[in-house]
């Protein structure tokens, strides 16, 4: 049986590979959703799209969030806490300017 953990719109599976058409696919169960917190507050913004990615290549995934207006932020996991608890959200920056990808 596979367990999915959903982080807002992000779902994490157990490490086994799921193959389409396999008998195991019929036994998938979803875990209860987890409210993702960054800096003690629920992640927000206009249509946030969270992803886990190791941006600094230290072996620990960071929470990376893009939103509809094009803001890109990240947060480090708070050591010793549950999967849905992250530090303060920080904007990606180039020099003194926040990195932004316009969607319009």
CB neighbour class for 63 (10 Å; exposed up to 12, middle 13-18, buried from 19): buried
In a domain, 82, yes or no: yes
* Sequence-separated (6 or more) residues with CB below 8 Å from residue 86: 36, 37, 38, 39, 63, 75, 76, 77, 78
User: pLDDT category, 24, cuts 50, 70, 90?
Assistant: low
In a domain, 104, yes or no: no
| Rounded Cα–Cα distance for residues 98 and 104 (Å) | 18
In a domain, 103, yes or no: no
In a domain, 47, yes or no: yes
CB neighbour class for 102 (10 Å; exposed up to 12, middle 13-18, buried from 19): exposed
pLDDT of residue 81: 77
| Rounded Cα–Cα distance for residues 57 and 6 (Å) | 24
In a domain, 43, yes or no: yes
pLDDT of residue 57: 92
The SS3 call for residue 32 is: coil
Question: Across residues 93-102, what is the average pLDDT?
Answer: 87
Q: What pLDDT, in 10s, does the model give residues 36-75?
A: 888 888 887 788 888 999 999 998 889 999 888 888 999 9
In a domain, 73, yes or no: yes
Q: Bigger pLDDT: 17 or 44?
A: 44
Nearest Cα residue to 4 out of 78, 83, 86, 63: 83
pLDDT of residue 88: 92
Task: Residue 36: give the domain boundaries.
Answer: 3-98
Question: Across residues 3-26, what is the average pLDDT?
Answer: 49
Range among 14-18, 34-38, 78-82, 94-98 with highest mean pLDDT value: 94-98
When divided into structural domains, the chain yields a total of 1
Question: Across residues 19-46, what is the average pLDDT?
Answer: 72
């Amino acid at each position: 049986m596979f367990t999915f953990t959903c982080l807002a719109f992000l779902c994490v599976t157990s490490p086994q590979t799921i193959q389409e058409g396999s008998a195991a696919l019929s036994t998938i169960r979803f875990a209860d959703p987890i409210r993702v917190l960054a800096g003690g507050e629920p992640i927000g913004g206009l249509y946030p799209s969270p992803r886990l990615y190791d941006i600094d290549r230290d072996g620990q995934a960071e929470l990376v969030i893009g939103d509809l207006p094009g803001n890109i932020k990240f947060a480090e996991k708070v050591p010793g806490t549950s999967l849905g608890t992250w530090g303060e959200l920080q904007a990606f920056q180039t020099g003194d300017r926040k990195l932004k990808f316009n969607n319009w």
